[in-house]
Amino acid sequence: MAETLGSLCDKLTIIKLKQWHSDDESRQISLANQQQSIQEEIDQFLIDAISGLIPEKKITFNANKVFKKEGNDVKEVLGSIGDIFSELAKINCELWHEQEKVYEFEKVPNEEKNNVVKQLAILNLQRNKCIDAIDNNLLKIITKK
């Protein structure tokens, strides 16, 4: 996947989750370096996008998820880039905790297993909607200048 503002924001939220959940000092140093690098990429991406160095067609890279819509309701993502970035962080937190259940799936009661899998699917759809919405909002800003 090509890097977009949305994909960079997604990476940053995941790094922050790893920092939150790790007590290992060497891992924290590595994650701090990754965080700094991603933040610099975000800043440079925005500078390049606003100055026209990134062609408009490369501002977005929609996930174009193909899935059965019936029974897989995903709410629309609305608001500013900041609003959507915040929603993306929340969804990635929820995804993190849902994924934790999968690591010990044998401990999940049988009657809950389908719900865990379904929730992972829905959260991933929501995550992709957020990434796409961040990119589309940036494109609207760029094309209005």
| pLDDT 10s digits, 27-63 | 999 999 999 999 999 999 999 999 999 998 899 987 6
Into how many domains does the chain fold?
Answer: 1
CB atoms within 10 A of CB 93: 15
Using a 10 angstrom Cβ sphere, with 0-12 exposed, 13-18 middle and 19 or more buried, the burial of residue 76 is: exposed
Q: pLDDT of 95-107, one tens digit each?
A: 999 999 999 999 9
Q: Which residue has the tokens 């990635």?
A: 92
Range of the domain at 118: 5-144
Given pLDDT bands bounded at 50, 70 and 90, which one contains residue 1? very low
Section 73-92 average pLDDT? 93
pTM for this predicted structure: 0.89
